[in-house]
A and B are shown apart, each in its own frame.
Chain A
Amino acid sequence: MDKFHGWTVSTKPLHIGLILSVILILASYRIVTYYHLTNVGLIMGVFALGIVQALLQLVFFMHLGLENRPYWYMITFLFTALIVLIVVGGTIWIMSNLNYHLMP
């Protein structure tokens, strides 16, 4: 029944996930309140911290990537992530392009 190497009964991954998530939240909060996102590097940095936190919680809270073969959880997740990337990236791309060409 347990495909996740005992992580479903273990509390240690949860402690690690909580501590790392709090650090990442406070770090991105500190960057924004202190430096006010004045350049592209800071914006990308804050976004990267969010991505890292999401991946971290997927692994430490939801046990993604711990299963044995066949990796159905991972395969379905990666496919969905690809779809979301196309939908979100494509929308932002096409709409900013449209906005640029319709400038008065």
Chain B
Amino acid sequence: MKAFPDMYHDQYSRTIFGFWMYLLTDFILFGTFFAVYAVLRKSVLGGTPPDVLFELPYTLWQTLILLGSAYTIGMGGAFAHRKQASKAMLFFGITFLLGVLFLGLEGRELARFIASGNSWQNSAFLSSFFTLVGTHGAHILFGLLWMVLILISVAQDGITAQTLRRLTCMRMFWQFLNILWVFVFTIVYLMGEIQ
């Protein structure tokens, strides 16, 4: 009896598919945060409304930087699959720098909000905003730390079955975070301009 060929049976495929399942659960987690934000976004309690608080050109740069990093990590992943370790390291390194830049810009923006009296304690809108953007930022921070560990193991071992698996998980994680940011940019920042 010949059924469909089972292409999910080797260690690589099982790990990658398992990691994909994790990303989908994260998708549900962020879905709930988006739902909360959508419900609470008008509850500013007399504070600064989103269209005054957000600086769209600043966020546009953040968005383009994170998109660029999703592109460079894709390049790194492609070179890793071609077993070109040094080129893969280069592109993962560029991704790391872009990620640091993104996180720095985000931290600066959130610090500006808090300094201007718009902390997460000030209204339901700000609570849901800080939860959503803060969780995304925490994922980015975790991803950057993880990337350092993976780059160390690639520098030591080169592209092996194990490091290729790690690099691919890292690439999927990062590109998934960029897809989430597309929704943060659209729903939180762009739609914040709705009166």
Interface residues of A (CB under 8 A from B): 1-3, 8-11, 14, 17-18, 21-22, 25, 28-29, 32-33, 36-37, 43, 46-47, 49-50, 53-54, 57-58, 61-62, 67-70, 72-73, 76-77, 80-81, 83-84, 87-88, 91-92, 95-96
CA distance A88 to B38 in the complex (A): 9
Indicate if the CB atoms of A25 and B67 lie closer than 8 Å. yes
User: Is the CB–CB distance between B186 and A10 below 8 Å?
Assistant: no
Within residues 1 to 56 of chain B, which ones have a CB less than 8 A from any CB in chain A? 4-5, 7-8, 10, 12-13, 17, 20-21, 24-25, 27-28, 31-32, 34-36, 38-39, 56
Q: Report, as a range, how many residues of chain B touch the other chain.
A: 35 or more
Distance of B48 from chain A, by nearest CB (Å): 18
- The answer to whether B186 and A46 touch across the interface, beta carbons within 8 angstroms, is yes
Q: Is the CB of B183 within 8 A of A50?
A: yes
B194 within 8 A of A: yes
A29 touches B56 (CB 8 A): yes
Flag if A84 contacts B182 (CB, 8 Å). Answer: no
CB distance from A91 to the nearest CB of B (A): 4
Bound: A95/B35 CA distance, A: 10
Across the interface, A50 reaches (CB within 8 A) one of B20, B70, B182, namely B182
Contacts of B187 in A (CB 8 A): 47, 50
Q: Specify which chain A residues have a CB less than 8 angstroms from the CB of B127 in the assembled complex.
A: none
- Residue B185 is within 8 A (CB to CB) of chain A in the complex: yes
User: What does the 1/0 interface line of B71-96 toward A look like (CB < 8 Å)?
Assistant: 10011011001100000000000000
* Residues of the B chain whose Cβ atoms lie less than 8 Å from the Cβ of A9: 78, 81-82
Nearest 5 pairs between A and B by C-beta?
Answer: A50-B186, A84-B31, A91-B35, A80-B24, A14-B74
Pairs across A and B, CB under 8 Å, 24 listed:
A2-B81, A9-B78, A10-B78, A17-B74, A22-B67, A28-B186, A29-B190, A32-B190, A37-B194, A46-B186, A46-B191, A49-B186, A50-B182, A54-B182, A72-B8, A76-B20, A76-B21, A83-B31, A84-B27, A88-B34, A91-B35, A91-B38, A92-B38, A96-B39
Chain A residues with CB under 8 Å of B32's CB are: 87-88, 91
The main secondary structure of chain B at its interface with chain A is helix
Contact pattern, B 141-161, Cβ under 8 Å of A = 1, otherwise 0: 000000000000000000000
Asked if B38 and A61 make an inter-chain contact with CB atoms under 8 angstroms apart, the answer reads: no
**Distance A104 CA – B179 CA, assembled complex (angstroms):** 40
- List chain A residues, Cβ under 8 A from B68: 18
Contact of B78 among A1, A11, A17, A77 (CB under 8 A): A11
B26 closest partner in A (C-beta):
A80
